[in-house]
Amino acid sequence: MADSARFLEQMFSLTGRRVLVTGASRGIGQALALGLARAGADLVLTAREAGALDATARAIADLGRRAECVACDQSDVHRIEAALSDIDPVDILINNAGYEEVRASEHVDEVLWDRIVDTNLKGAFFVARTVAQPMLARGRGAIINLASLTSFVGVPTAVPYGASKSGVLGMTRALAAEWAGRGVRVNAIAPGYFRTQLTETFYADADWAEGMRAKIPQGRFGRMEDLLGAALYLASDASAYVTGQCLVVDGGYLASI
Residues known to be catalytic: 161
Contact present, 199 and 221 (Cβ < 8 Å) = no
Contact present, 101 and 116 (Cβ < 8 Å) = yes
Phi then psi for 193, rounded to 5 degrees? -90, 105
CA 98 – CA 1 distance, rounded (Å): 41
